[in-house]
Amino acid sequence: MTTLIQNGQVYTNGQLIVADVVIDNDRITAIGEPGFWQGSIDQRIDATNKLVSPGLVDVHVHYRDPGETQKETIHTGSLAAAHGGFTTVGAMPNLDPAPDTPARVAEMVRRNQQEGVVHIAQFATITTGRQGDQLVDFAGVKKAGAFAVSNDGSGVQTAGTMYQAMKGAAAAGLPLAAHVEDNSLLFGGVMTASDRSRQLGLPGAPSVSESAQVARDLVLAKTTGVHYHICHVSTKESIAMVRFAKQQGVNVTCEVTPHHLLLTVDDIDGHDTNYKMNPPLRTKADQQALIAGLQDGTIDMIATDHAPHTVADKPADFTQAANGITGSETAFAELYTNLVKPGTISLTKLLDLMSAKPADLFNLNQAGHLEPGRPADLAIFDLQQSTRIQAADYQSKGINTPFTGDQVYGDTVLTMVDGHVVYQRKEG
């Protein structure tokens, strides 16, 4: 079966060109100027005035399955990813049971493939049950199909455990993705300690709870040689240290979330707990450092930390509500509207940060590039007409995001995985 995507603004090989894309079953076979294709066509998709992008890649999502399927399942999470234009995601292992043995990882890999409509790469944990000091069998979980390890949701608390974990992950050839948070520096805080937390009378945690552990880990990463990846980096001190470490040749990469780029602690009113997540929203100075880090390449990629919760998990009390917000369905449009349209970063830069960079740095099998020979994983976005983000459109079980109601450009028109349409916008 041959599909022709016609006349789109196609991002291929580092350039945006008006082109036709030819797909033969599950592969992209040719890209050329409009009308170039002389062969047979079974299906035409008109992409005139639309962006045709490589399928987006998000290395940080939470699908709650098994364990908390009232919040999300592998299937609904993957539908949300498809709605946002994502075709490959990395699923975090804070599950019950957690994928912390080769057998459990193999079971997740099998379920991800069977129940997901997008490609779902699986993280294994760093330690058993994501707690304590008992390391997983790194070579075993890699052989079972894990693409990286992470204890996301909590930091690895002791330097000795992190040191041994880095040595094990390096030997197995697994990236180690760290949620950086020193529990001894939280002091019961539910938001960043700041003028805002004092105004609201809410307990604050100092942002050094993140950056102190980043400092520790960068030293350990240098000596172990592991591919050390920092999840959802959020403070100006962390960015400064990553920039320095890269200059020293440390094998470090990092991701930033859309919400840390677009929101600050000053957006918190103390009641709308869709502004509560971990790491928490930071100060304006931190936000500016994150944007500078995007611009100069210190930050390697954008990841959403898609974290669905039920309405009951998010009462209007900052001290009680769960941490986390959904992200898959709003990320591209929010970032296009608020970073690309005002000229903070270019469209091609945003696309690289959301496709080629995460795919290449995590060695995700052929994802992240729209080129002949690659899998037909792509997304079509509408950059011309603005739309309002509406909860009724969410495919996720979670509606916990502060971005609902925003008027944005960059709505997803269609998402394709291996040549199959997995999301299509209802027209009219």
- Mind telling me the catalytic residues? 305
CA distance 304 to 287: 16
Q: How far is the CB of 61 from Zn ion (least distance, A)?
A: 11
Q: Closer to Zn ion at the Cβ: 59 or 144?
A: 59
Residue facing Zn ion at closest CB distance: 179
Q: Which stretch binds Zn ion (CB under 5 A): 103-111, 163-171, 174-182, 242-250?
A: 174-182
CA distance 283 to 237: 12
- First and final C-alpha spacing in the chain: 28
Q: Provide the Cα torsion 72, 77, 83, 89; round to 10°.
A: 150
Question: Which residue in the set 152, 217, 334, 352 belongs to the binding site for Zn ion (CB under 5 A)?
Answer: 152
Nearest CA to 80 out of 91, 67, 96, 95 is that of 91
Q: How far is the CB of 275 from Zn ion (least distance, A)?
A: 16
Q: How far is the CB of 73 from Zn ion (least distance, A)?
A: 20
Establish if 276 lies at the interface with Zn ion (CB under 5 A): no
Question: Which residue in the set 179, 216, 282, 314 belongs to the binding site for Zn ion (CB under 5 A)?
Answer: 179
Q: How far is the CB of 277 from Zn ion (least distance, A)?
A: 9
Nearest CA to 383 out of 355, 358, 411 is that of 411
Query: Regarding beta strands 411-417 and 420-424, do their DSSP bridges make them parallel or antiparallel, or are they unpaired?
Result: antiparallel
Q: How far is the CB of 215 from Zn ion (least distance, A)?
A: 18
Q: Closer to Zn ion at the Cβ: 119 or 179?
A: 179
Q: How far is the CB of 110 from Zn ion (least distance, A)?
A: 25
CA distance 95 to 97: 5
Q: Closer to Zn ion at the Cβ: 120 or 389?
A: 120
96 three-class SS: coil
Q: Closer to Zn ion at the Cβ: 52 or 231?
A: 231
Query: Regarding beta strands 301-302 and 252-256, do their DSSP bridges make them parallel or antiparallel, or are they unpaired?
Result: parallel
CB neighbour class for 385 (10 Å; exposed up to 12, middle 13-18, buried from 19): exposed
Torsions phi, psi for 52 (to 5 deg):
-110, 110
C-alpha pair distances (Å), 247 with each of 203, 244, 250, 254, 286: 37, 5, 8, 14, 21
List beta partners, residue 302.
256
Residues 23-62 that bind Zn ion (CB under 5 A): none
Q: Closer to Zn ion at the Cβ: 83 or 130?
A: 130
Q: Closer to Zn ion at the Cβ: 301 or 389?
A: 301
CA distance 101 to 39: 49
Contacts of 320 (CB under 8 A, 6+ apart): none
Q: Which stretch binds Zn ion (CB under 5 A): 33-41, 98-106, 172-180, 192-200?
A: 172-180
Q: Closer to Zn ion at the Cβ: 31 or 254?
A: 254
Q: How far is the CB of 304 from Zn ion (least distance, A)?
A: 11
Residues 207-266 that bind Zn ion (CB under 5 A): 231
List residues binding Zn ion (CB under 5 A): 152, 179, 231
